A and B are shown apart, each in its own frame.
Chain A
């Protein structure tokens, strides 16, 4: 396809991040076996214990079967027909512009990653007094190509680096925490991830430290027929505080690509982790061809008293999303939050929600889920609130709203509530509404175009979730919602 045709195509489909970057790659042969796992491990200079961990996970995975309970359908995935490692040939983890491939720099520019980040990627750190800064870890296929602000952060003891590097440089921390929240055999995709994970971010916030800036990871899948298996681990020691954001995009391709991530969060006494996601993987075309299969396990453990983990997600991308960011509320008076906007259009399928497991006395959780379905898509909220006998006085409030655009889409709400402590209070509210003709007409009578009217109504519907995002990302997310729903009415 010519460059112009490709641009036109991506404009028509509304997905503006679908271009491909031509770059020389180091690609593992297709297939999944012990040799491939050894190859990944050696490419990353891993210590023996890490390789053992992977091989054990692989053994476990081989005994497991893909989960079938989600409301999603897809043709069988041939796990032997994928590449499990793809990295730009240039050396990974450069510290200055000279070491980053210019093609990659061009790509990040094209993706519109803010200028300051580009300055950062180029190794020129902007004036710290200028504005709130964001440290970025840029993961391209299987490797991190740049991580910024590491020095600034290390001055206050914060570790922010690719996880592959943490395995080498901070083995004790990684050994202690990796797989401690999401055990290897937790589920089919977590086992697969544990066997073949390639890169992702590692964050460690020491006792009493408020991380001085937002941390973020930007994931990009570029290589063809390649799975991306990201692994992220965030540890906040007692009294620590961190806000972390992830973004992601992928080229527009006819075949489906697999993304199976595992994210683990650990919060000790009085620590807070705020984890925000703007998920914008390629969703496939209007006929449902192509797009990312996004099978993700995200879980946080509130281990300390009064610890808090808050998940905020805006999910607009992927052909299939299977994702339940969860909180295990172990500490007394710990707090779990889940704020979600999931948009599906065309043939997208999303089965997403959360699990709140209340163990600690007085633990509290809040769930706000906003599902928007258009076209022929299917959008399912699946949530579990489990109160264990130990969780005296636990509380949960769940609010689950669905908005339908058109007549061919589906919205489904599947709440599971298990309360085994009589002093706990669990509330669940659910609504389903349509963007009514009269709402659209009312807006248009006041001069708004139909598209602007839909955006206004959708943004109003999502307001409680969007306000949880860091300011500049909230603006991005609003624009993304607008782009995703372009042409879905009328």
Chain B
């Protein structure tokens, strides 16, 4: 279970998150919606431990452990995965090698044996096939020369291989065609289990059609201003954020 209490955070001197309270019980998928610049990506970065974000108050625990106290790699080992809104390019770094290094780092942290190149490739090929991605995705350099859609699919592939306990997807569906959108939804749905939960940042109801969330939250100006069931997303799709923002003001 993810428990966020009174979380405030700044970039430099500028406060961005202004008191977030959010609980995601195990097995649930929650959607985060909200206007651009409201702090959705910031929340993902703060949960995963990015350096230039300073937590100024509140607490975050995941399955009872204090996340804010941990290095990013330790959070990853504890099962936190962030699918980046803008995935990063690593020139010269082979995607398969990157994924294997990451997977082995996490396996090591769990006291599991490392996978050799052959074992890994077998696993990775099975995932690319399942997610209907071309095999050559593994041979290319991490996100280098990838189209926007390929980058997002690569995030889903990484998530599928690393099998997180808490997945944070930051607009992974933005800019995707309908088929690719389904891949994202399938990626999350495949991981669904009583010990998996997800925070899905999105602007689009059509993703939520495939990925029926337990709860929907609206984030604006660094606060959650409204929460509801799946029907809230449908309402927002119809009438936009204006009414919700006005009601909260």
Tell yes or no: B205 within 8 A of A by CB. Answer: no
| B contact residues around A79 at 8 Å (CB) | none
| A contact residues around B87 at 8 Å (CB) | 442
Tell yes or no: A446 within 8 A of B by CB. Answer: yes
Task: Give the number of A-B contacts (CB < 8 Å).
Answer: 76
| A contact residues around B105 at 8 Å (CB) | 446-449, 452
Could you jot down 17 A-B contacts, CB within 8 Å? A436-B88, A439-B89, A441-B50, A441-B51, A442-B88, A445-B49, A445-B76, A446-B76, A446-B158, A446-B162, A447-B73, A447-B76, A448-B73, A448-B105, A449-B73, A461-B91, A464-B92
Complex CA–CA separation, A463 to B158 (angstroms)? 23
Complex CA–CA separation, A441 to B46 (angstroms)? 12
Tell yes or no: B69 within 8 A of A by CB. Answer: no
Contact between A442 and B90 (Cβ–Cβ < 8 Å)?
yes
Query: What is the size, in residues, of chain B's interface with A at 8 Å between Cβ atoms?
Result: 33
Complex CA–CA separation, A463 to B92 (angstroms)? 6
Nearest neighbor of A446 in chain B, beta-carbon distance: B102
Tell yes or no: B8 within 8 A of A by CB. Answer: no
Tell yes or no: A170 within 8 A of B by CB. Answer: no
Complex CA–CA separation, A324 to B179 (angstroms)? 54
Q: CB-CB contacts of B91-104 with A at 8 A, as 1s and 0s?
A: 11110011001110
With A437-B51, A438-B88, A456-B98 as contacts: A444 and B93 at CB distance below 8 Å: no
| A contact residues around B77 at 8 Å (CB) | 447
| A contact residues around B209 at 8 Å (CB) | none
Q: CB-CB contacts of B79-118 with A at 8 A, as 1s and 0s?
A: 0011010011111111001100111011001000000000
Nearest neighbor of B88 in chain A, beta-carbon distance: A442
Tell yes or no: B71 within 8 A of A by CB. Answer: yes
Complex CA–CA separation, A459 to B91 (angstroms)? 10
Nearest neighbor of B76 in chain A, beta-carbon distance: A447
Tell yes or no: A457 within 8 A of B by CB. Answer: yes
| A contact residues around B102 at 8 Å (CB) | 443, 446-448
Tell yes or no: B48 within 8 A of A by CB. Answer: yes
Tell yes or no: B174 within 8 A of A by CB. Answer: no
Complex CA–CA separation, A446 to B162 (angstroms)? 8
Report the minimum CB–CB distance from B128 to chain A (whole Å): 17
Nearest neighbor of A439 in chain B, beta-carbon distance: B88
Tell me the residues in window 425-469 of chain A with beta carbons closer than 8 Å to chain B beta carbons. 436-439, 441-450, 452, 456-457, 459-464
Main secondary structure of the interface of A (DSSP, over half): helix
Which residues of A are in contact with B by a Cβ distance under 8 Å? 436-439, 441-450, 452, 456-457, 459-464
Complex CA–CA separation, A436 to B48 (angstroms)? 17
Known contacts A438-B88, A446-B158, A463-B92; can you find 6 more A-B pairs with CB under 8 A?
A445-B76, A447-B77, A448-B73, A456-B93, A456-B98, A459-B92
Contact between B50 and A447 (Cβ–Cβ < 8 Å)?
no
Nearest neighbor of A453 in chain B, beta-carbon distance: B73
Tell yes or no: B52 within 8 A of A by CB. Answer: yes
Report the minimum CB–CB distance from B102 to chain A (whole Å): 4
Contacting B90 at CB < 8 Å: which of A439, A450, A452, A464? A439
| B contact residues around A461 at 8 Å (CB) | 91-92
With A441-B72, A442-B87, A445-B82 as contacts: A452 and B101 at CB distance below 8 Å: yes
Tell me the residues in window 129-172 of chain B with beta carbons closer than 8 Å to chain A beta carbons. 141, 158, 162
| B contact residues around A449 at 8 Å (CB) | 73, 105
Complex CA–CA separation, A462 to B92 (angstroms)? 8
Contact between A460 and B76 (Cβ–Cβ < 8 Å)?
no
Report the minimum CB–CB distance from A428 to chain B (whole Å): 19
Report the minimum CB–CB distance from B201 to chain A (whole Å): 15
Complex CA–CA separation, A449 to B77 (angstroms)? 11
Contact between B93 and A457 (Cβ–Cβ < 8 Å)?
yes
Nearest neighbor of A463 in chain B, beta-carbon distance: B92
Contact between B158 and A457 (Cβ–Cβ < 8 Å)?
no
